[in-house]
Structure 1
Amino acid sequence: MKNFKPLSRNPLSFALASALAIAAAAPAVAQETDDDAAQAEQAEQQTSSSSAPTELQAITVTGSRIARDVFNSVSPVQVITREETTMAGFDSTTSALQSNTVTAGSSQINNAYGGYVTNGGPGANTLSLRGLGATRTLILLNGRRVAPAGSRGSVGSTDLNVLPSAMVDRVEILKDGASSIYGSDAVAGVVNLITRKNIDGVEFEAYHNATDGGGGDSRSYSIVFGKTGERSHFSGSYEYYNRNNLTIGDRDWAGGCPTTLWRDIEVGDYWGSGDYLDPMTGKPKCWHLDAGGVTINTLGTAAMEGTPGPGTSGSAFNRWRPNSAVTTGFAGFEGVSLDSRDSFDPAMLNESLISPATTHTVFFQGGVDIGAMGNAEIYYEALGNRRESSQTSYRQLSLDYAVNSPLLGDLSWLPAFMFPTETSNDEFVAARAFIGFGNTHNEQSVDFWRATAGVRGALSPEWNYDFMLSKSRSDADYTMESFLTDRIAQSMNVVSDGAGGFRCVDQSNGCVAAPMLSSQTIGGILPQQWKDFVLVPVTGNTLYEEDTVNFNVNGPLFDLPHGTVSGAFGVEYRRAEIDDTPSIHSINSNLYNLTSSAPTRGKDSVWEAYGEVELPLLSGIRGAEELTLNASARYTDYQSYGSDTTWKIGGLWTPVNWVSLRASYGTSYRAPALFEQFLGGTSGFLASSNDPCNDYGQRDPNSPRYINCASEGLAPDHQATQSVRVITQGGAETGLVAETSDALTVGVVLQPEFPTAFGDLSIAVDYFDIEVENGVARAGTSYILSQCYNGVDFANDTGFCRMVSRDPANNALTVLDGYVNLSTDKVRGLEFTSRYVRDIGPGEFRATVQLTKFLEQSSKTFPEDPLVDYNGMLQRPEMTGLLDLSYKVRNWRARYGLEWVDGMDSYAYYQENYPTLDFDPATSMYKIYTPNYFLSSTSVQYTGDKWSITAGVRNLFDKEPPKISQGVYNTVGNALLYSGYDYFGRNYFVNVTKSF
Structure 2
Amino acid sequence: MNDHKALRRNPLSAALVSALLLTATASAVAQDAASDEEQSAQQSAQQTPAQQAAGSPAQLGAITVTGSRIGRDVFNSVSPVQVVTREETTLAGFDSTTAALQSTAVTAGSSQINNAYGGYVTNGGPGANTLSLRGLGPERTLILLNGRRIAPAGTRGAVGSADLNVLPSAMIDRVEILKDGASSIYGSDAVAGVVNLITRRNVDGVEFEAQHNATDGGGGDSRRYSIAFGSTGDRSHFSGSYEYYTRNDLAYGDRAWASACPTDMYRDIDAGNYWGSGDYIDPLTGKPKCWGLDAGGVTINTLGTATMPGVPGPGTPGTTFNRWRPNSAITEGLVGFEGVSLESRDTFDPAMLNQSLISPVTTHTVFFQGGVDLGAMGDAEFYYEILGNRRESSQTGYRQLSLDYAVDSPLLGGLSDLPAFMNPTETSNGQLVAARAFIGFGNDRSEQTVDFWRATAGVRGALSANWNYDFMLSKSRSDADYTFQSFLTDRIAQSMDVVSDGAGGFRCVDTSNGCVAAPVLSSQTIGGILPQQWKDFVFIPVTGNTLYEEDTFNFNVDGSLFELPHGTAAGAFGIEYRRAKIDDSPNIHSLNGNLYNLTSSAATRGKDSVWEAYGEVELPLLSGVTAAEELTLNASARYTDYQSYGSDTTWKIGGLWTPIRSVSLRASYGTSYRAPALFEQFLGGTSGFLASSNDPCNDYGQRDPNSPRYINCASEGLPGDHQANTSVRVITQGGAETGLEAETSDALTVGLILQPEFPAAFGDLSFAVDYYDIEVENGVARAGASYILSQCYNGPDFANDTGFCRMVSRDPANNSLTVLDGYVNLSTDKVRGLDFTTRYVRDIGRGQFRATAQVTKFLEQASKTFPDDPLVDYNGMLRYPKMSGQLDLMYRIDSWRFRYGLEWVDGMDSYSYYQENYPTLDFDPATSMYKIYTPNYFLSSASVQYTGDKWSVTAGVRNLFDKEPPTISQGVYNTVGNALLYSGYDFFGRSYFVNLNKSF
Give the C-alpha shift of residue 469 in structure 1: 0.4
Query: Distance in 2 between the 1:794 and 1:264 partners?
Result: 40
Residue 864 of structure 1 is matched in structure 2 by: 868
Contact 1:726 1:814 in 2 (8 A): yes
- Aligned partner (choices 579, 591, 594) of residue 575 of structure 1: 579
Give the C-alpha shift of residue 57 in structure 1: 3.5
Query: Distance in 2 between the 1:34 and 1:736 partners?
Result: 47
Query: Distance in 1 between the 2:826 and 2:696 partners?
Result: 30
Residue 985 of structure 1 is matched in structure 2 by: 989
Q: Stretches of 4+ moved more than 6 A in 1?
A: 24-27, 29-35, 694-697, 706-711, 713-717, 791-802
2:499 aligned with 1:495:
yes
Give the counterpart letter for 1:106 in structure 2: S
1:348-367 → structure 2 map (5 Å cutoff): 348-367=352-371
Residue 127 of structure 2 is matched in structure 1 by: 123
- Secondary structure of the residue that 1:198 maps to in structure 2? coil
Residue 347 of structure 1 is matched in structure 2 by: 351
Residue 626 of structure 1 is matched in structure 2 by: 630
2:515 aligned with 1:506:
no
1:302-341 → structure 2 map (5 Å cutoff): 302-341=306-345
Query: Distance in 2 between the 1:609 and 1:70 partners?
Result: 27
Residue 183 of structure 2 is matched in structure 1 by: 179
Give the counterpart letter for 1:234 in structure 2: F
Number of aligned positions between the proteins? 956
Residue 45 of structure 2 is matched in structure 1 by: 36
Query: Distance in 2 between the 1:898 and 1:197 partners?
Result: 32
- Aligned partner (choices 677, 686, 689) of residue 686 of structure 1: 689
Give the C-alpha shift of residue 800 in structure 1: 8.4
Give the C-alpha shift of residue 778 in structure 1: 2.1
Contact 1:400 1:423 in 2 (8 A): yes
Residue 108 of structure 1 is matched in structure 2 by: 112
- Aligned partner (choices 531, 535, 539) of residue 527 of structure 1: 531
Query: Distance in 1 between the 2:743 and 2:579 partners?
Result: 19
Give the C-alpha shift of residue 724 in structure 1: 2.0
Give the C-alpha shift of residue 350 in structure 1: 0.4
Residue 265 of structure 2 is matched in structure 1 by: 261
Listed one character per residue, the Cα deviations across residues 400-430 of structure 1 (whole Å, up to 9, x for unaligned) are 0011111011111111121111100011101
Residue 475 of structure 1 is matched in structure 2 by: 479
Residue 144 of structure 2 is matched in structure 1 by: 140
Distance 1:277 1:409, change over 3 A: same
Distance 1:105 1:163, change over 3 A: same
2:435 aligned with 1:435:
no
Query: Distance in 2 between the 1:120 and 1:691 partners?
Result: 29
Distance 1:959 1:35, change over 3 A: closer
Distance 1:665 1:66, change over 3 A: same
Query: Distance in 2 between the 1:39 and 1:266 partners?
Result: 76
Listed one character per residue, the Cα deviations across residues 303-346 of structure 1 (whole Å, up to 9, x for unaligned) are 11111111111111111111111111111111111100100000
- Secondary structure of the residue that 1:741 maps to in structure 2? strand
Give the counterpart letter for 2:45 in structure 1: D
Listed one character per residue, the Cα deviations across residues 597-654 of structure 1 (whole Å, up to 9, x for unaligned) are 0000000000000000001111110110110100000000000000000000000001
Listed one character per residue, the Cα deviations across residues 428-450 of structure 1 (whole Å, up to 9, x for unaligned) are 10100000000000000000000
Query: Distance in 2 between the 1:707 and 1:842 partners?
Result: 80
Query: Distance in 2 between the 1:800 and 1:19 partners?
Result: 44
Distance 1:30 1:911, change over 3 A: farther
1:927-938 → structure 2 map (5 Å cutoff): 927-938=931-942
Residue 738 of structure 1 is matched in structure 2 by: 742
In the superposition, the TM-score normalised over structure 1's length comes to 0.93
Give the C-alpha shift of residue 595 in structure 1: 2.3
Query: Distance in 1 between the 2:721 and 2:243 partners?
Result: 57
- Secondary structure of the residue that 2:694 maps to in structure 1? coil
Give the C-alpha shift of residue 692 in structure 1: 2.9
Query: Distance in 2 between the 1:339 and 1:188 partners?
Result: 45
In the superposition, the TM-score normalised over structure 2's length comes to 0.92
- Aligned partner (choices 275, 281, 299) of residue 277 of structure 1: 281
Query: Distance in 1 between the 2:342 and 2:24 partners?
Result: 43
- Secondary structure of the residue that 1:817 maps to in structure 2? strand
Query: Distance in 1 between the 2:762 and 2:47 partners?
Result: 30
Query: Distance in 2 between the 1:890 and 1:225 partners?
Result: 27
Query: Distance in 2 between the 1:20 and 1:710 partners?
Result: 59
- Secondary structure of the residue that 2:680 maps to in structure 1? helix
Query: Distance in 1 between the 2:306 and 2:775 partners?
Result: 53
Contact 1:167 1:224 in 2 (8 A): yes
Give the counterpart letter for 1:985 in structure 2: G
- Secondary structure of the residue that 1:818 maps to in structure 2? strand
Residue 830 of structure 2 is matched in structure 1 by: 826
- Secondary structure of the residue that 1:672 maps to in structure 2? coil
Residue 884 of structure 1 is matched in structure 2 by: 888
Contact 1:377 1:457 in 2 (8 A): yes
Distance 1:641 1:839, change over 3 A: same
2:678 aligned with 1:674:
yes
Contact 1:31 1:62 in 2 (8 A): no
Residue 383 of structure 1 is matched in structure 2 by: 387
Give the C-alpha shift of residue 257 in structure 1: 2.2
Query: Distance in 1 between the 2:76 and 2:472 partners?
Result: 29
Give the C-alpha shift of residue 758 in structure 1: 1.0
2:157 aligned with 1:153:
yes
Query: Distance in 1 between the 2:437 and 2:301 partners?
Result: 8
Give the C-alpha shift of residue 721 in structure 1: 3.0
Give the counterpart letter for 1:845 in structure 2: F
Query: Distance in 2 between the 1:728 and 1:31 partners?
Result: 53
Give the counterpart letter for 1:453 in structure 2: A
- Aligned partner (choices 908, 921, 924) of residue 928 of structure 2: 924
Give the C-alpha shift of residue 691 in structure 1: 3.4
Give the C-alpha shift of residue 19 in structure 1: 3.6
Give the counterpart letter for 2:545 in structure 1: N
Contact 1:32 1:59 in 2 (8 A): no
- Aligned partner (choices 964, 969, 972) of residue 968 of structure 2: 964
Give the C-alpha shift of residue 282 in structure 1: 1.2
Give the counterpart letter for 2:887 in structure 1: L
- Secondary structure of the residue that 1:290 maps to in structure 2? coil
Contact 1:26 1:73 in 2 (8 A): no
Give the C-alpha shift of residue 809 in structure 1: 7.0
Distance 1:649 1:821, change over 3 A: same
Contact 1:838 1:844 in 2 (8 A): yes
Residue 779 of structure 2 is matched in structure 1 by: 775
Give the C-alpha shift of residue 802 in structure 1: 8.6
Query: Distance in 1 between the 2:344 and 2:225 partners?
Result: 51
Query: Distance in 2 between the 1:26 and 1:717 partners?
Result: 73
Query: Distance in 2 between the 1:665 and 1:348 partners?
Result: 51
Give the C-alpha shift of residue 72 in structure 1: 2.6
Tell me whether 295-304 or 283-292 shows the greater mean CA deviation.
283-292
**Structure 1 spans left out of the alignment, 5+ residues:** 1-16, 41-53
Query: Distance in 2 between the 1:840 and 1:118 partners?
Result: 49
Give the C-alpha shift of residue 657 in structure 1: 1.1
Query: Distance in 1 between the 2:698 and 2:445 partners?
Result: 33
Give the counterpart letter for 1:744 in structure 2: L
Listed one character per residue, the Cα deviations across residues 206-257 of structure 1 (whole Å, up to 9, x for unaligned) are 0001101110000100000000011000000000000000001111111122
Residue 13 of structure 1 is matched in structure 2 by: none
Query: Distance in 2 between the 1:716 and 1:986 partners?
Result: 56
For the aligned residue pairs, the C-alpha RMSD in angstroms reads 2.7
**Structure 2 spans left out of the alignment, 5+ residues:** 1-22, 50-57
Contact 1:419 1:721 in 2 (8 A): no
Contact 1:208 1:991 in 2 (8 A): yes
- Secondary structure of the residue that 1:585 maps to in structure 2? helix
Give the counterpart letter for 2:592 in structure 1: N
Residue 416 of structure 1 is matched in structure 2 by: 420
Distance 1:792 1:176, change over 3 A: farther
Contact 2:608 2:643 in 1 (8 A): yes
Distance 1:708 1:392, change over 3 A: farther
Contact 2:113 2:130 in 1 (8 A): yes
Query: Distance in 2 between the 1:927 and 1:414 partners?
Result: 43
